[in-house]
């Protein structure tokens, strides 16, 4: 059950945070259609596996508003089926990437990983 802080953050701060710090991304649900939303994107550097010299695919952590109107509802995410068009580097061309797993959904925000 959400506490008072969680309710107030979800109501007031989550929208302002996305407006101030969010990037434009496009959500593509498996069921069809698309929705342009704002998201905070956390980009991690690609790691090279020393023994084999392989470079695994880059993983991105995405935070969006937990809303089926101006974000993505945590209950509508279909991991492995839904995709998000997001740039691997800031100010580069967005690419469609699969939503791999939901990390958290609290305080009016959803955090998930895309690959």
- Cβ 60 vs Cβ 97: under 8 Å: yes
HSE toward the beta carbon, residue 71, CA cutoff 13 A: 25
pLDDT of the residue at 68? 87
Strands (E), 11-108: 23-28, 35-43, 60-65, 83-86, 95-106
pLDDT of the residue at 24? 92
pLDDT of the residue at 17? 65
Grouping H, G, I as helix, E, B as strand and the rest as coil, residue 4 is: helix
Q: What is the mean pLDDT of each successive set of 10 residues along the chain, which is 115 residues long?
A: 66 63 91 93 72 69 90 92 91 92 89 91
Name the pTM for this structure.
Answer: 0.79
pLDDT of the residue at 89? 83
Architecture of domain 4-114: Beta Barrel (2.40)
Give residue for tokens 């609290």: 106
């Amino acid at each position: 059950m959400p506490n008072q802080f969680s309710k107030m953050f979800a109501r007031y701060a989550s929208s302002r945070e996305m407006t101030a710090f969010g990037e434009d991304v496009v959500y593509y649900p498996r069921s069809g259609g698309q929705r342009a939303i704002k998201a905070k994107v956390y980009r991690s550097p690609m790691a090279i596996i020393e023994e084999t010299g392989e470079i695994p695919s880059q993983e991105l952590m995405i935070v969006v508003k937990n809303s089926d109107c101006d974000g993505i509802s945590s209950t509508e995410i279909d991991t492995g089926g839904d995709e998000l068009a997001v740039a691997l580097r800031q100010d580069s061309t967005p690419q469609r990437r699969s939503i791999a797993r939901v990390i958290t959904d609290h305080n009016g925000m959803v955090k998930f990983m895309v690959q």
